[in-house]
Amino acid sequence: MRVVLDAFEAPAPLRVAARVVGWPFKWLGDEGDPSMPPAVRALSALGPAYIKFGQILSTRPDVVGAEMATQLRVLQDKLPPFSVEAAEEQILAEIGLPVDELFSEFSAPVAAASIAQVHKATLRETGESVAVKVLRPGIERAFRRDIDAFYFAAWVIETLSPSSRRLRPRDVIAHFEGVVMGELDLRLESAAASEFAANTVNDAGFQLPQVNWMLSGRRVMTMSWAEGVPLGDNAAIDAMGHDRVALSRRVLELFLNHALRDGFFHADMHQGNLKVAPNGDIIAYDFGIMGHIDEYTRRVYAEILFGFIRRDYKRVAEVHFEAGYVPADRDIDEFARALRAVGEPIFGMDATRISMGKLLAYLFEVTERFGMETRTELILLQRTMVVVEGVARSLDPHMNIWRVAHPVVEDYIKKSIGPRAAASDLMKTAAVMARFGPRLPKLVEAALIRQSQPEPEPQRNPWPARVFWASGGAAVSAAVILLAPFFG
């Protein structure tokens, strides 16, 4: 952990907090593989949830340094695999047929990540090459252990540092838990892949493998084989003659289009889940973590991005206040000046000279100064934005995120914010009102009757029940909440 914090140039308070919170959890992991670099060894030994954190850092050489990012990239798809025999047993249990009857060829693992591993196989019936994804045995229990530890750590942080409560640590862990639980059911991943494919069918330069529903279930997922080179292998991309600058732009444009246009985006877009096809298309796979944002949030996000692009910091500040991201009692002009201090250095400096570590540290100071709470509905969006920008910069270190985002965000603004969008909103509202039209008179009448009647006096609980809820019930509830993380 010390190696990661050094690479991140973490401030002293964060280092102290990491030591205090991390000390009780040394017993959770194992010693790890001594041949691995220290950071990779530590994160892989701690468990799958910590590996997810390492995968994010692996996409940001501008934050942790090029050497550390290269080391951490092992966590994306090159972890120690489990045996082929164990994979075959899970396929038999899930599909109901032995591997030999389903496939004429079934390879050793070609990729292994924190949750599952992938085998290349050939369908016996058609001869088609497919990718078979199989969950790691016991992965549910391993994740449950990590999440319980996270809940306890969040409770410790909130107890020792009341000021941290604005970051809502326990809500963040609850959000992460929901994401992970969905990732552990490959039927949901298959459904997400199908929906994502339907949304992006007309996206130029973008491909998705197709799900084989007959050979997929809760712990096994089969898709068409994606032929290409990993997006993180710059040497192989150059050898194939592809334009890395164009690929850098496209990966960011695709993410923004999916997030803004569709409100449904791939939320785990590190290099281990992306390939470049022989024809230059970007291929995405592994749809266990998908992000969804509603239309209102998309408009807020687009306005914030567009305000930064136009360097209209006053408008960016206004959008934050309008959306409730900043408490109303704070000074909007002061907040706009703080945002200017964030944005101006980025616009006036080459991308290779921007210190993302310092920028993130200052952004944290701004959120603390203005009492901004964590927005759990934006966690996946913000996380993916950081990852995608890191992937794009690994292809083109000089890539300017604002220049690339400008046409995509501007196009969305024109379509979603303006007279045409207002007319569309009115039509949607009218459709909802028409659907409830026959019930409106009764609803209005019932509301008026309730308003005209005097409020009944609150009923008093019998003495034993009142005592229970005033003392013992509250104590039991608190005990359940605090002790639940320790019991899977």
Q: How far apart are CA 80 and CA 109, in angstroms?
A: 10
Q: How far apart are CA 118 and CA 387, in angstroms?
A: 23
Active-site choice (62, 146, 268, 396)? 268
Helical pair 332-347 and 356-369, crossing angle rounded to 10 deg: 180
Task: Check: CB of residue 215 under 8 Å from CB of residue 102.
Answer: yes
Maximum CA extent, the chain = 81
* Lookup: tokens for 247: 């690929």
Beta-carbon-side half-sphere exposure of residue 486 (alpha carbons within 13 Å): 8
Separation of CA 369 from chain center: 26
* Lookup: tokens for 64: 């942790």
Tell me how many degrees the CA angle 435-439-444 measures, rounded to the nearest 5.
Answer: 125
Which residues are paired to 105 by β-bridges? 122
Q: How far apart are CA 317 and CA 120, in angstroms?
A: 50
Active site residue 268: yes
Q: Give the residue from 363, 369, 366, 355 showing the smallest Cα distance to 382.
A: 363
Q: How far apart are CA 354 and CA 138, in angstroms?
A: 42
Q: What is the set of active-site residues?
A: 268
